[in-house]
Amino acid sequence: MISGNRRIVVIGREQWDRVIRRRIRPYHAGFYAMYSSVFGGIVKDPALMLVPIDDHMVHRGDGVFEVFKCVDGAIYNLDAHLTRLRHSASALALAPPCGWDGLRRIVIAAVRAGGRRDCNIHLFVSRGPGGFTVNPYESEGCQVYVAVVRARPPFMAEHPEGAAVLSSSIPPKPAEWARIKSCNYLPNVLMKKEAVERGADFVAGFDERGCLTEGASENMGIVTRAGDLVFPRLERILAGTTMLRVIALARRLKGGLLRDVGFGDIRRTEIRRAAEMIIVGTSVQVAAVRSFDGRPVGSGVPGPVSIRLNRLLEQEMRENRKLRTPVF
């Protein structure tokens, strides 16, 4: 850190190793491994987990990404994440230099190198380095980065009382961008910043018609008092991989806890009248909402649908062999 009148030095290669060692922080203990196509391999030293500053992903947000989990030694729902990544990449004319089959092998190798049976994987396909203008054609070629890091406990494990949600003031993304998981996440960052500063667990976005969109990095839905599980229409939201799996699992509850499962417009009035509101995502899994805009949702405690869906999802992540890609 530079302070006062301390001289700013020029660091050469001979000083680099000593300087980079000072960069290590306690949170780096949760950084297990990183693959970089720029360097052509995997590193396990957090000090070496670096991305070139001239990669257009860094200075223009020109890249796409996915986040998924390794659960008890196997990656959960990998095919769905790679399919969505390919869709996002094609929209920006990006392609991994290793090819899509090679990308799968790299992900598995990086997780294995990390040595943890439970972890999160952050996978990026970037425009690549080559300069600092907005012109994507100055890049020397697309790159791939895979970061394997500590998995946080799902939301309900740390907050069994459920989540407090507020309406967000951040405008939603245009439809064509909402459906792409790009590295230009500034609206999402501002939503999370808003939640933290306002003392909420999450904030919920609403479009110009007053209909629910999504959270900063989560999908949201409601259970009506008639027993319908409803998520927002896919035209204005990212098709969350966890949301789609939760919908598939929820269909098992039809004729019991649920009458129907589907998509539709959800306005604030529907949320206030709902029996339950739920949040779903890779990290959060399935979370119950106890309050929305300061008012209790349903009875103000986690409801039977959210509790049941969370259990079903947890069971599927550990037992559904069709959706588990073994690593260890």
Q: Name the residue among 54, 101, 98 with its Cα closest to residue 82.
A: 101
Tokens of 111: 């997780």
- How far is Cα 23 from Cα 45, in angstroms, rounded to an integer? 11
Please count the helices (runs of H) and the strands (runs of E) in the chain: 10, 15
Q: Which spans in 39-167 are helix H?
A: 56-60, 78-91, 99-114, 155-158
Output the CA torsion sign for 142, 215, 34, 315.
Answer: negative
Dihedral of CA atoms 180, 316, 114, 41 in degrees, nearest 10, equals -40
**Given 173, 181, 192, 322, the catalytic residue:** 181
Give φ, ψ of 23 to 5 degrees: -75, -20
Each as own residue / partner, the long-range contacts of residues 193-200 (CB below 8 Å, 24 or more positions apart, any chain) are 194/166, 194/168, 194/169, 194/170, 195/166, 195/168, 198/166, 199/164, 200/164, 200/165, 200/166
Burial of 229 (0-12, 13-18, 19+ CB in 10 A): buried
Specify whether 181 is catalytic.
yes
- Which of 66, 76, 73 has its CA nearest to residue 324? 76
Catalytic residues: 181
